[in-house]
Amino acid sequence: MSKIKFATVWLAGCSGCHMSFLDLDEWLIELAEYVEVVYSPVGSDLKEYPEGVDVCLVEGGVANEDNLELIHLIRKRTKTLVSFGDCAVTANVPAMRNMLGGSEPVLRRGYLELADETPQLPYAPGIVPELLDRVLPVHEVVPVDIYMPGCPPDAHRIKATIEPLLKGEKPKMEGRDMIKFG
């Protein structure tokens, strides 16, 4: 049986969802028998998101031009896209900046008003990605197949979501254990 091509990605998040993924502990060894990790900040050193990915867990909201480009590429190259954690599902913590009303006031606050020394706005086209005016949940940008809320989702929920996918089945995202936020 060929292995499932498996990826994980983090966009605008704190990496806590990935830390929770690592809490799968010894089950990760079992998982490795079924999947080939083709792209992941915690499991692969590939820099380019590959073609033909079967399952991808996406952590974080879409906050800048890099996130935007990557999530479109992920959608194009992935069969099952899982919105992984509250930041992906609702934009959650990164979206707190949305109330400031755009990228310009956010940058002004962070880099000019709160700067102790040499206040200046970051400007390095092609190096520092431009912020979007609003941080968006993943489904506002591309279609999502499965929503896995939680901040972070605990390892039990992550396992219960991934396990059916290994058998080509859809997980049942129902009940407190699977869809409670926070």
* Footprint of ligand SF4 (CB under 6 A): 13-14, 16-17, 59-60, 85-87, 92-93, 151-152
Q: State the minimum distance, in angstroms, from the CB of residue 16 to ligand SF4.
A: 3
Q: Say how far apart CA 155 and CA 145 lie, in whole Å.
A: 20
Q: Please say which residue, 19 or 112, places its beta carbon nearer to ligand SF4.
A: 19
Q: Please say which residue, 25 or 169, places its beta carbon nearer to ligand SF4.
A: 25
Q: Give the CB-nearest residue to ligand SF4.
A: 16
Q: Say how far apart CA 97 and CA 104 lie, in whole Å.
A: 11
Q: Please say which residue, 36 or 66, places its beta carbon nearer to ligand SF4.
A: 66
Angle at 44 between CA 43 and CA 48, to 5 degrees: 140
Q: Say how far apart CA 64 and CA 67 lie, in whole Å.
A: 5
Q: State the minimum distance, in angstroms, from the CB of residue 17 to ligand SF4.
A: 4
DSSP single-letter state for residue 61: B
Q: State the minimum distance, in angstroms, from the CB of residue 145 to ligand SF4.
A: 18
Q: Which residues pair with 83 in a beta bridge?
A: 58, 147
Q: State the minimum distance, in angstroms, from the CB of residue 72 to ligand SF4.
A: 20
Q: Please say which residue, 14 or 70, places its beta carbon nearer to ligand SF4.
A: 14
Q: Say how far apart CA 57 and CA 3 lie, in whole Å.
A: 17
